[in-house]
Amino acid sequence: MKVLGIETSCDETAISIVEDGTKVLTNIIASQIEIHKETGGVVPEVAAREHILNIIPTLKKAFAETNLTWTDIDVIACAPGPGLISALLTGTLTANTLALVKQKPLVPVHHILAHIYGNWLDRDQNTKFPILILTVSGGHNDLVLMKDHGDFIQLGTTRDDAAGEAFDKVAKLLGLGYPGGPAIQKAAINGDENTYNFPQAKLGQDNFDFSFSGLKTAVLYEIQKTYGKDFDPKNLDPSFVNNIAASFQRTISETLISRLIQAAKSHNPKEIHIAGGVSANTYLRNYAEHKLEQFNVPIKYPVKIQYCTDNAAMVASCGYFLYTKTPEKYQKWHNIQPNSDFTF
Ligand code: KG4
Ligand code: ZN
């Protein structure tokens, strides 16, 4: 079964076609990173305009690359949220129109649950439930227990800044540009991770929520201690920047993985997955490998970096598993609405 996925939640216009939930036939991503670099972050109105320009060329490229036609497509899947409402509008409107005109079932997919399916792409379907999943992206941070396809329990979530947001904000303070995650990872290679001891939010033994705004503020105070309140990120000493980056990356990894360990002890998962943009981080992956060894279960991250950050293959994969579980739910065409607060 071939599912066409559509993703426009933030600053990537993406279309993908995935076979049987795992085999990626095409994965086209029109990235807006170069545009948003100028403002050091995503301006929703600018992102929305770019989606409108990019959606049809992206769709055409997906078909051109595979030589497939609409008769080959069984189902359409689209992420109507969470995300930027003006950006989501383009994806949902496109999905509704295509589903109506081409008479295909349409599956709405939660963007963060779609990230979870980044770990099914280019892999076989062999998985053992329950799976404990840490999703770390720009807007959201969740700890999820997945009992089966479509059966998710949220154990913990973001209280303030998500991990990716913290990477982006700290990178901005350090003058490292946007997006912050890859820039901090690069700077940290030449830094000493033990230079600074930044605080970690303690939320209690049975609490699986996350809070990173204090960490971001601690980094700000550390910079101000040396460079004064009105510091200019452009004037920071490179070795100072590298040491802050390395210490920040260590601290955030320790917090994320300690929460994962805590949850693994309570829920005895058969697999542990990490997904979302921040799961591209090499330090986090290595640290997780090392610390999670004690559970003796498979530890998975998306096999390609482009499956960590926003893409439509993960949307198509999630759509496939939801559709095959209850096809009757999606047979009759219905409009899907963009919803920036979509919960699961
Ligand atoms: O999942 P994603 O593409 O978008 C959202 O759903 O928000 O995540 C984007 C986030 C950004 O904050 C970016 O800085 C972060 O993922 N990111 C990374 C890395 N690559 C992307 N963070 C840490 N290390 C990386 N290598
Ligand atoms: Zn995302």
Q: Is the CB of 244 under 6 A from ligand 1?
A: no
Is the N-terminal amide bond of 269 cis, ω within 30° of 0? no
Residues of the chain with pLDDT under 50: none
Q: Report the pLDDT value the prediction gives residue 274, as an integer from 0 to 100.
A: 98
Q: Which ligand 1 atom is nearest residue 111's CA?
A: 6
Q: Report the pLDDT value the prediction gives residue 343, as an integer from 0 to 100.
A: 87
Q: Is 3 left (phi over 0), alpha (psi -120 to 50) or beta?
A: beta
- The alpha carbon of 112 and the centre of ligand 2 are apart by a number of angstroms equal to 6
Terminal Cα distance for the chain, rounded: 25
Q: Are 42 and 84 a contacting pair, CB within 8 Å?
A: yes
Burial of 340 (0-12, 13-18, 19+ CB in 10 A): middle
Q: Report the pLDDT value the prediction gives residue 197, as an integer from 0 to 100.
A: 96
Q: Sketch out the chain's domains with CATH numbers.
A: 2-121+306-330 (3.30.420.40), 131-302 (3.30.420.40)
The string of pLDDT tens digits covering residues 265-322 is 999 999 999 999 999 999 999 999 999 999 999 999 999 999 999 999 999 999 999 9
Q: Report the pLDDT value the prediction gives residue 81, as an integer from 0 to 100.
A: 96
Ligand 1: which residue has its CA nearest to atom 16? 277
Q: Report the pLDDT value the prediction gives residue 33, as an integer from 0 to 100.
A: 86
Report the alpha-carbon distance of residue 27 to residue 59 in Å, rounded.
10
Residues contacting 283, CB < 8 A, separation 6+: 185, 188, 249, 250, 253
Residue 277 CA, chain-centre distance (Å), reads 4
The string of pLDDT tens digits covering residues 21-62 is 999 999 999 998 888 888 888 899 999 999 999 999 999 999
Q: Report the pLDDT value the prediction gives residue 279, as an integer from 0 to 100.
A: 98
Q: Is the CB of 255 under 6 A from ligand 1?
A: no
Q: Which ligand 1 atom is nearest residue 139's CA?
A: 7
- The alpha carbon of 175 and the centre of ligand 2 are apart by a number of angstroms equal to 24
Q: Is the CB of 167 under 6 A from ligand 1?
A: yes
Q: Is the CB of 139 under 6 A from ligand 1?
A: yes
Ligand 1 pocket mutation, candidates 7, 309, 314, criterion most atoms within 8 A of CB: 309
